[in-house]
Amino acid sequence: METEDRFFPEFGVRVFLVEDNSEHSFIAVTVIRQLLGEASEIIVAENADEAVGLIGQFTELDHPDLMLVDLRLPENGGFAVLAAARANEACSRVPAFVITSSLYDHDIAHSYELGASAVLCKPLSRGSLREELVRIGKLPPTDGAARIASTH
């Protein structure tokens, strides 16, 4: 992956968080700020209708760098948000991570079918988010991870 595709936390990262539970939202915002920096801008939608409305306003020059979507929003709203993001040209290539407490295989499979880049368990943790951002090339591996990878 090209270096210009990576996130640079010192400059801030724009994150679109879709979460209806205030406690889980607080945890996610805390994790995002710890991992991606205090300069990060976090846009929060509390339900699927609000999220789909915001997605419709994003443009090629004004869109998030990362989306985190609660899968289990009421009325299968998480799936609707993923579908809307992939249908919107400005968001179609933005990494979308699903955060969920669902362990149903069909939910996870459907998330990937709708273009999710990763499925993360709730509550969101710094380690799991970092691991997935490294996996998709948005953050560089840590020195320890690079050493482990080079010895295998």
User: For the whole model, what pTM was predicted?
Assistant: 0.87
Summarised one tens digit per residue, pLDDT across range 35-75 is 998 989 999 999 999 999 999 999 999 999 999 999 999 98
Residues recorded for the chain: 152
DSSP string for 102-135: ---HHHHHHHHHTT-SEEEESSP-HHHHHHHHHH
Q: What is the pLDDT of residue 99?
A: 96
CB within 8 Å of 149: residues ≥ 6 apart:
141
> Where would I find the H helices in 1-142?
22-36, 48-57, 77-87, 105-113, 126-135
| Angle in degrees, CA 64, 76, 78, rounded to 5 | 15
Separation CA 39–CA 32 (nearest Å): 10
> Is pLDDT above 90 for 5?
no
pLDDT tens across 119-128, in order?
A: 999 999 999 9
Residue 98 is predicted with a pLDDT of: 97
Q: What is the chain's mean pLDDT, rounded?
A: 88
- Residue 17's DSSP bridge partners are 44, 68
Q: What is the pLDDT of residue 25?
A: 96
| The pLDDT value given to residue 150 | 40
Please give the domain boundaries of the chain with CATH numbers for all domains: 3-151 (3.40.50.2300)
Phi, psi of 119 (to 5 degrees): -120, 120
Q: 108-121 burial, b for 16+ CB within 10 Å, e for fewer?
A: bebbeebbbbbbbe
